[in-house]
Amino acid sequence: MNLPHEEYRPILIAGPCAAESEEQVFETAKQLKERGINIFRAGIWKPRTKPGTFDGYGEQAMPWLLQVKNVLRMAVATEVATPEHVKCALQGGVDILWIGARTTANPFAVQQIADALRGTDVQVLVKNPINPDLELWIGAIERLANAGVHRLGAVHRGFSTYGQSIYRNSPMWKIPIELRRRIPELPIICDPSHMGGKRELVAPISQQAMDMGFDGLMIESHYKPDEAMSDSNQQVTPDVLAYILSLLVIRENTASTEDISLLRRKIDEIDIRLIELLARRMEVSREVGQFKKEHNVSVLQTGRYNEILEKRGEQAASCGLGSEFVQSIFKLIHEESVLQQTRFINNK
Residues 295 and 207 in one domain: no
106/130 Cα distance (integer angstroms): 10
Residues 46 and 135 in one domain: yes
What are the counts of helices (DSSP H) followed by strands (DSSP E) for the chain? 13, 8
Check pLDDT > 80 for residue 48: no
45/345 Cα distance (integer angstroms): 59
CB 65 within 8 A of CB 59: no
Residues 243 and 273 in one domain: no
Backbone phi and psi for residue 170, each to the nearest 5 degrees, phi listed first: -65, 135
Domain count, the chain: 2
CATH number at 341 reads: 1.20.59.10
Residues 24 and 130 in one domain: yes
Q: What is the mean pLDDT of residues 25-40?
A: 98
Residues 238 and 267 in one domain: no
Residues 238 and 139 in one domain: yes
Residues 140 and 280 in one domain: no
Residues 112 and 28 in one domain: yes
Which residues, 6+ apart, have CB-to-CB distance to 176 below 8 Å? 128, 154, 156, 188, 212, 214
Backbone phi and psi for residue 41, each to the nearest 5 degrees, phi listed first: -115, 145
Model pTM score? 0.79
225-267: pLDDT as tens digits: 999 999 999 999 999 999 999 999 998 765 555 667 778 888 9
292-310: pLDDT as tens digits: 888 888 888 888 889 999 9
Q: Where are the beta strands (DSSP E) in 5-102?
A: 11-15, 39-41, 75-80, 96-99
- Please give the C-alpha separations between residue 22 and each of 30, 46, 70, 218, 332, in angstroms, as whole numbers: 12, 17, 14, 21, 55
Q: Where are the beta strands (DSSP E) in 49-143?
A: 75-80, 96-99, 123-127
Residues 144 and 280 in one domain: no
Residues 131 and 110 in one domain: yes
Q: Is the residue at 2 inside a domain? A: no
Q: Is the residue at 252 inside a domain? A: no
Q: Write out the residue range of the structural domain in which residue 29 sits.
A: 11-247
Nearest alpha-carbon partner for 15 in 58, 79, 81, 71: 79
